[in-house]
Amino acid sequence: MKINAGNLKKGDFILYQNEIWQVQKAEFYAPGKGAALMKTKIWNVKTGKNIDITFKSGEEVKIVEVESRLMVFLYKDNENLYFMDEKTFNQYSVPLTAVSGLEKYLKEGEKLYLSV
């Protein structure tokens, strides 16, 4: 689904330069020169990197549909955390770079909601 950047809001997941990012901050900005803009701070769900991107408010941005699912934490290795959806038994991996140290607080067998 595509929306105008002017409608972006905190929490939206977007596709930007072929990667998935979550909007951390979205503020409308009218600099009084040319068009109105949308200043955003976005967070790369894979690498955990934060960047500032300014969109034209009429620019189309691809929204990534995401849902929250209850998962069980299975284990971790040097690169990823592994989870399982108890309903479907599908396994999911989450790169450690995306969780910025939070893995320390996870215990095997613990259940939590993941956005997929």
Paired strand residues for 54: 39
8 touching another protein, by CB under 8 A: no
4 touching another protein, by CB under 8 A: no
For 80-102, b/e burial (b = at least 16 CB within 10 A) is bbbbeeeeeeeeeebebebbeee
70 touching another protein, by CB under 8 A: no
85 within 8 A of 69, measured Cβ to Cβ: yes
53 touching another protein, by CB under 8 A: yes
42 touching another protein, by CB under 8 A: no
Q: Which stretch binds another protein (CB under 8 A): 24-32, 72-80, 85-93, 103-111?
A: 24-32
